[in-house]
């Protein structure tokens, strides 16, 4: 069964303090790994899709990377508006079901 583990569960950063969120996964065959951002009371907002080890994608202060066992979401010089829960999900190649991790709740303090 596919599994996704995100760490840490919660992260508190000072504005401008860069850090990384981790997503470890187990999947029989990876079709894609997704990162989402979720604000309280809202649906997840799509950020990135990564398909193969070594792939990297960037958007503003966020950069996602992928290895064969894990993905990292690097946040450079975060701002308070980056505060949210970040979700990682994997889609397997065969069954094509999408499995989500429980997320990392990020708080950026001014």
Among positions 45-84, residues that touch other proteins (CB under 8 A) are 45-46, 49
Please say which residue, 69 or 97, places its beta carbon nearer to other proteins: 97
Cα–Cα distance between 110 and 92 in angstroms, integer? 39
With CB under 8 A as the contact rule, the residue among 31, 57, 61, 63 that binds other proteins is 31
By CB under 8 A, tell whether 24 contacts other proteins. no
Q: Is 36 helix (H, G, I), strand (E, B) or coil?
A: strand
Nearer to other proteins, 25 or 34 (CB): 34
- Strands (DSSP E) along 39-69, which ranges? 45-50, 56-59, 62-66
Burial class (CB in 10 A: 0-12, 13-18, 19+), 69: exposed
9 binds other proteins (CB under 8 A): no
Interface positions with other proteins (CB under 8 A): 31-32, 34, 36, 41-46, 49, 87, 89, 91, 93, 95-103
């Amino acid at each position: 069964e596919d599994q996704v583990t995100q760490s840490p569960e919660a992260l508190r950063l000072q504005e401008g303090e860069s850090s990384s969120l981790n997503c470890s996964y187990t999947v029989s065959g990876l079709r894609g790994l997704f990162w989402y951002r979720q604000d309280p009371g809202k649906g997840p907002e799509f950020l990135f899709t990564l398909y193969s080890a070594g792939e990297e994608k960037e958007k503003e202060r966020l950069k996602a990377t992928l290895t064969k066992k894990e993905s990292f979401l690097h946040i450079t010089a975060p701002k308070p508006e980056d505060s949210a829960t970040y979700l990682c999900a994997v889609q397997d190649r065969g069954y094509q079901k999408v499995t989500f991790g429980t997320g990392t709740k990020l708080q950026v303090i001014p």
